[in-house]
Amino acid sequence: MDISIVGNDCAYIYLRAGAGVVWDDLVQFCVDRGWGGVENLSAIPGCTGAAPVQNIGAYGAEVSNVIHAVEFMFYNDLSAREFSCVECNFGYRDSIFKRELKGCGIITYVTLRLTKNPVINANYEDVKHALHGLDNPSIHTVRDIISSIRASKLPDPSVVGNAGSFFKNPVVSEKLALSIKNSHPSLKLFPSGEKYYKIPAAWLIEQCGFKGKRVGNVGVHAKQPLVLLAFEGATGDELINLSHTIIQTVKERFNVDIEPEVNIC
Ligand SMILES: Cc1cc2nc3c(=O)[nH]c(=O)nc-3n(C[C@H](O)[C@H](O)[C@H](O)COP(=O)(O)OP(=O)(O)OC[C@H]3O[C@@H](n4cnc5c(N)ncnc54)[C@H](O)[C@@H]3O)c2cc1C
């Protein structure tokens, strides 16, 4: 694997990985050596070079938390430039590579800063629950738990076409969030900055009756309504139409705008 150690101090290991390294192989590599920071991002499909593009995230972690630098080659003159983590302008499923630099070049290497003294990140309810009662769980345990939660909830793309989460979780004003919570006490709100809350898009979509629904050759996953499914014979138009119907229905019912997490060209 195209992975090398490029820095090492008392607290951190700096690991430079080629864009073509399978992301989950890199996670395994780190976890096997006890280097923490990416274990919550276990079992996310794809390559390391794509990870910064949408700032992959899961189970309370984002790759931007451990990115030290990203190397990028421009198509126009084949020049190379290194972007620091700050320069990557990371946001929720967002980065400079998804916006200003989209189509301008290619990420060639990613350098991660991993901790030698991992702190278990169990902020996410499912992970906290699974770790409950375990003494001193390791990052290995966290990786195993997250991999099995994902396998139980997410459809395997080699069996049925899907891109993982199709929608982002919307961030709404405190006023709107609390008014929805008032009429739907089961709603879980997650503070997101001052006077804003993140609402699970899966909850909104489920409330609108889409969970498990199939329309022609496309549908909404029964175990995780954030995931749209493309069954055999599905067309791009069918999928886009379903996504528009969902967006519109959520807007009409809750006055909340949800937007795609996936890149639609
Ligand atoms: C079942 C399933 C579960 C998923 N779960 C998650 C999840 O939990 N969290 C999450 O964040 N994502 C998730 N995803 C989305 C997906 O895994 C990530 O977006 C991943 O980074 C895509 O990697 P890829 O190599 O397949 O990239 P592609 O899908 O091929 O590309 C994604 C985008 O990145 C660009 N890109 C790819 N490589 C490079 C490069 N080297 N340089 C510049 N641009 C590049 C592409 O042009 C494209 O715009 C999931 C997807 C599936 C199918």
> Does the C-beta of 64 come closer than 6 Å to ligand 1?
no
Segment 148-185, tens digit of pLDDT: 999 998 999 889 999 999 999 999 999 999 999 999 99
Give the residue range(s) of CATH 3.90.78.10 domains in the chain. 200-254
Alpha-carbon span 130 to 140, nearest angstrom = 13
> Does the C-beta of 36 come closer than 6 Å to ligand 1?
no
Kindly report the length of the chain.
265
Q: Which CATH number fits domain 3-153: 3.10.180.10, 3.40.50.300, 3.30.465.10, 1.20.120.420?
A: 3.30.465.10
Weakly modelled stretches of the chain, pLDDT under 70:
none
Under 8 Å between Cβ of 134 and 53: no
| Residue 182 token pair | 């008032």
Helix 23-32 and helix 139-153, axial crossing angle in degrees, nearest 10: 150
- Catalytic residue status for 232: no
Give pLDDT, residue 19.
98
> Does the C-beta of 46 come closer than 6 Å to ligand 1?
yes
Give pLDDT, residue 56.
97
Under 8 Å between Cβ of 76 and 104: yes
Give pLDDT, residue 249.
98
Residue among 93, 113, 143, 150 flagged as catalytic? 93
Residue to substitute in 22, 39, 40, 44 for testing ligand 1 pocket (most ligand atoms within 8 angstroms of CB): 44
Give the residue range(s) of CATH 3.30.465.10 domains in the chain. 3-153
Of all atoms in ligand 1, which is nearest to the CA of residue 54? 19
Ligand 1, atom 38, lies closest to the CA of 50
C-alpha of residue 68 to centroid of ligand 1, in Å: 19
- Catalytic residue status for 261: yes
Alpha-carbon span 234 to 228, nearest angstrom = 11
Domain 200-254 indexed as CATH 3.90.78.10: yes
| Edge-first strand listing for the sheet containing 214-215 | 214-215, 218-220, 228-230
Ligand 1, atom 50, lies closest to the CA of 164
